[in-house]
Amino acid sequence: MTYIITEPCIDVMDKSCVEVCPVDCIHETDHMLVIDPEECIDCGACEPECPVEAIFPEDAVPDVMEAFIKINYAYPDGLDKVAELVASRIADCPPPPIAGHRE
């Protein structure tokens, strides 16, 4: 299993999670960070660090965030693939406004 970063990270990207990951498997992409499922050791250290509660164990990702499982799993296919899937998700389902980040 792996951990999954979901919608609340989009355009927030404060990177608190990156600092605690022991295997450096959390990576920055255009609009959000993603976890490389091939590198994640499932330690759970990142989950409580996220101020917007964007991180879930894969088997606990809420149904409405299911698209983000595919987005995190796309990391080994390259940043362009992740960007394409994130753009598609934003177009299909715009994230709610966040003060200071989005209108």
For binding to ligand SF4 (CB under 6 A), which residues are involved? 3, 5, 9, 12-17, 20-21, 23, 25-26, 33, 35, 40-46, 49-50, 52, 54-55
Least distance to ligand SF4, CB of residue 60, Å: 12
Helices and strands: H and E segment counts in the chain: 3, 4
Tell me how far, at minimum, the Cβ of 2 lies from ligand SF4, in Å: 6
Question: Minimum distance between the CB of residue 84 and ligand SF4, rounded to whole angstroms?
Answer: 19
